[in-house]
Structure 1
Amino acid sequence: MVAVTISGVTAIAYMTLSEWGQYGTAMVPQSARIQGWLGGAPYLFATASMKQFDDRASVDRSIVDHVAGPRTKRAVREIQQLDELLPQDEAFQQAITVLRPNEEKDCELVAELVHDGRLQKLFVMVHHEKYPIRVWLDAMGALNLHTGAAAKPVDPILRTAAETIQQEEYNGLKSGRGKDAVVQLVHAFAAHGHPADPEQWARAYFAVGGSFNHAATISNLVEEVRCGVRHRVKPAYREDIYDTVATRSDGKEGI
């Protein structure tokens, strides 16, 4: 599966750590599957911390040894070094494997490199399926190498709702009109059969280029709505906001 970027196309795939290891029974065949998708040596890996990578017990080191092999040409860099390592105005021709990104700054950089068209082929080893990077990958249409399929595309009307939220993020989404907008939209959509599902809303937000920071805020607010929290918010839109978003989603008119 490929993600359309601002200046090109990036082929993206991923696998979770549990899918790769399967209690130590599947690392060899799963690594072979990753090798086949990457296209062979030379390999370039990006880890969050070289200090942790150099530890003999490092999970990332184990992944690299299985995927690339000790005698294969390979290089390992820190994720934050990728911005300087990669060309600024064209897609890097070599496939890159990013290992278990979790910190917001690392996830944001990976997303930025994709959106700017600076990567031709990206594989991400996800530490846990609940991590935000996995939600982002699904939003980008990434291929899950374990299942052999990508997640279903984001519902167009949720995508349009996410674009509406983007218009309010300039002052943040944790309070004020930004929070008002998120909460009202989630309630309005829930009333029309769209569950208050934190992952679905975050995925929609990622699909329109949203940041990890704001996506986390949206997820938290949606979870609170799902749990029945009564937010003190002011109406940010008219009561018929769902119909308005639906109309915009159909391409008939703007808000």
Structure 2
Amino acid sequence: MKLIRPTTITDTMLTSSSTGINPASDPTKWLDLGPTNRWAMFDDRVGTAATRTGSLQVVLVPGAIDAVALIDTDAESATVTLTVDGVTTYDRTQSFNLGGNAIDNWFSWFFEPIGRKSSLLFLDVPVYANGVVSVTIVRDNPADTVSCGTLIVGRQFSIGETEHGADIGIIDYSRKEADQFGVVSVVERAFAKRMTARVVMQTDAVDDVHRNLATLRATPVLWIGSETFESLTVFGFYKEFSIDLAYPTVSYCSLTIEGLT
């Protein structure tokens, strides 16, 4: 189990009926309309997205980071580069067209829909304090729209190894109601991912893990239960955690994670 604490990059669209009022010093007179398109990928919601036709490129100077993640993204591929003093020290491209079931027969090859991932993880970025990170997200067809729900850059922290038996699902905020005649009306709303997992960790790391998790109690982070399964990647908060100091050298940390909509 790893987690990535994002570097803060925010901007929002505000409106007020009064002029000459600073939203930072007098926020009650302003209405937060959410992020602008340019900044939508950096807010604390997965459901808001930055969009652009053909391709979308972001250049950041985030300081010392070692991970980049794209969540809820609709595109064909993404490239992350890191440049230090004009020299490219990291350049990696990954494809979103790697999801779905394994193709094991000709019928599936021709007729099954192409599996598509919605998230990509770049967890091998070298650490440089003065590095310039460039993220380019593209569609094969220049006329198609690229959509990126969340772009995360930050530092990784490893808790331990996720055990088999993790429980995953979603929290659905849609409304389903039946009237007196049994007719059901459905209002589709957003949903959030959830995950419950137990992690094997070294006992001598208990204090460090406990301290770091406590500091993140009100901070949305990216939880990576496994790099193999996209469904075990959740951007959100832990609802609760507990650490079992089971043995002199091995302990267990149980976490319940709730994602953001």
Length-normalised TM-score, structure 2? 0.28
- Compare the two structures and name the one with the higher helix fraction: 1
Length-normalised TM-score, structure 1? 0.28
- Compare the two structures and name the one with the higher strand fraction: 2
